[in-house]
Amino acid sequence: MKTVDIVERIEGEARLNCTWENGFVKDTQIDFLNFRGFEYILEGKPALDALVYTPRICGICGQAHLKATVEALENIYKSLNEELVITNKAKILREIGLNIEIIDSHIKWFYMFILPDVIKLKENDLKEYSPLKGKRWLEACKTASETIKALAIIGGQWPHTSYMIPGGVVSDPTLLDLTSMMNYLDLAINFFEDSIAGVSFDKYLSFNSVDDLNILNEDLKYFTNLSFEYSLQKYGTSYDRHLALSDSSISKRGKIRQRLTDKLDLNKIKENCDRTFKVEEDSKNKEKHTWSKAVTYNSMFYETGPFSRAMVSHREFIYELHKSYKDSVFTRVMARVDEIAHLLHSTKELIKQVDISEESYIKPKISLKDIPKANAKSVVEACRGSLYHNVSIEKGIITKYDVITPTVWNLGPAIKDEKGVAQKAIIGSPSLDIAKIVLRSFDVCSVCTTH
């Protein structure tokens, strides 16, 4: 039996095709049918304009794209031995902005994109978790919106600010600004304590064993109970290989195949288009079914995202959950929610470290327009995992811009007989509902996947 299902309530739309055998998913294919051509748009544009364009690849993770662009442009200076001086203050303000956006995204994802589906396995009436109306849904939305104000203080607005520029950041916050930012984060910490985990923040941050699941209350307890009732700790396993291309304030770069290593070589990243539609051809080719490319590291598929970051950085609680429940839906969801707490903690610390007497911005001595030809890459840990930008410029004009988003790592198609990460995870699901939850556990963003 074959089924095709349109998946909404993700960032964009996807199509999930499943073949069934004895009531289980035997094979699957994920189609992303929408393409906006950002890499084409960027070609021929002045290099600095990329700071305006790339955040608009995605309405929810634009700051990650901004940071990737600004660092790629700064790496151009580095490649010419003209490395720019970026003050510690500017570096921290960038990290803070990125972190806040990830917190916003994770909160929305848990309450808007995955929890409703998990509850639906059991109850038809979502009650306080009902979209747009339920009390908890509204509280979560409010928390996300209050949190993002902290970013608006340094960015001017969210979504879509371009407050990071080569040389630093545009804003120069006061001590009161920093204090307000901490206040907004405290609101989110309160929500985490009262509604998400139901335990004190410090207690949660000290979690380090599977038994700590028993201490949880509120929504994580609810989620945990539902997960075990519907075996979400068994479904959704994939290669269990993990990749984090960049450091972040809460995690380290590295990869785990069988062993952990921090040796990474960006040249080993390869995109594959065997199953990907092409702009240049009107393909009737049956092999091609999606706008998403596939991507591998050293010819192998890797998962990326909060779960992989936690694994690579050996974050106790998630590491222990993984020992018992592998790379299942349950572990993956817990890792994303767990990251909210660690990010809130670390971001508050970062705010305290800002030295307002430092410069925010030091003007580059050389204009990109005066550089005959150059190329550089950058990597950033975004909400959904590792983001890679690769830009080539000539006299200040972009000649090529390549973006590999986290969702391409997770949701891209198969290469030959080797299944993509999410594809492999979905196989074996006992129902369409579970198959969709497995897919969602990767935090699907179709706009990023195809960009």
Partner 1 sequence: MKSHKPTIVWYQAVTCNGNTHSLLSASSSRLELFLNSFDLIYHPSLTIDTTLDDILKLKDIDFLLVEGAITSDEKYYSINQNSTKNILEKLSQKAKYIISVGSCASYGGVHKKFEQNDDILGVEEIIDTKKYKNLKHEIVNLTGCPVHPEWILQTVFSLNSFSRMSLDDEKRPRELYSNLAHHGCTRNEYFEWKVEGDFGQKEGCLFYDQGCRGPMTHSSCNKILWNDVSSKTRAGMPCIGCTEKDFPRENMLETKKNIGIPLDVPLGIPKRAYLSITGVAKTFKIDRLNKKLMD
Amino acid occupying residue 419 = K
Residue 33 found at the interface with partner 1 (CB under 8 A)? yes
Q: Does 300 bind partner 1 (CB under 8 A)?
A: no
| Pattern 247-286, partner 1, x by CB under 8 A | ------------------------------x-x--x----
- With CA atoms as reference, report the closest residue to 47 among 450, 438, 395: 395
Q: Kindly give, in sequence order, each residue whose CB lies less than 8 Å from that of residue 86, ignoring residues fewer than 6 positions away.
A: 74, 167, 168, 362
73, 84, 92, 144: residue in contact with partner 1 (rule CB under 8 A): 144
Give dist(CA 42, CA 400) in Å, integer.
Answer: 8
* Interface residue with partner 1, options 27, 52, 194, 326 (CB under 8 A): 52
List 246, 313, 328, 360, residue binding partner 1 (CB under 8 A): 360
- State the maximum Cα–Cα separation within the chain, in Å, rounded to a whole number: 67
53-61, 246-254, 381-389, 416-424 -> range binding partner 1 (CB under 8 A): 53-61
Beta bridge partners of 244: 254
CB 154 to partner 1: min, Å? 7
Q: Is 56 in the site for partner 1 (CB under 8 A)?
A: yes
Residue with tokens 């364009």: 53
- Cβ contacts of 195-204, under 8 Å, gap ≥ 24: 195/136, 195/139, 195/140, 195/219, 196/110, 196/220, 196/337, 196/340, 197/341, 201/341, 201/344, 201/345, 204/341
The footprint of partner 1 on this chain (CB under 8 A) covers a number of residues equal to 76
- Asked if residue 59 binds partner 1 (CB under 8 A), the reply is yes
Contacts of partner 1 in 148-177 (CB under 8 A): 148-149, 151-163, 165, 167-172, 174
34 counts as binding partner 1 under rule CB under 8 A: yes
Site string for partner 1, 110-129 (x = CB under 8 A): --xx--x---------x---
Can you tell me whether residue 198 is helix, strand or coil? coil
Residue 134 in the binding site for partner 1 (CB under 8 A): no
For residue 243, the SS3 value is: strand
Asked if residue 182 binds partner 1 (CB under 8 A), the reply is no
**Residue from 3, 40, 229, 285 that binds partner 1 (CB under 8 A)?**
40
- Contact between 236 and partner 1 by CB under 8 A: the answer reads no
361 part of the interface to partner 1, by CB under 8 A = yes
Sign of CA dihedral 178, 183, 188, 193: positive
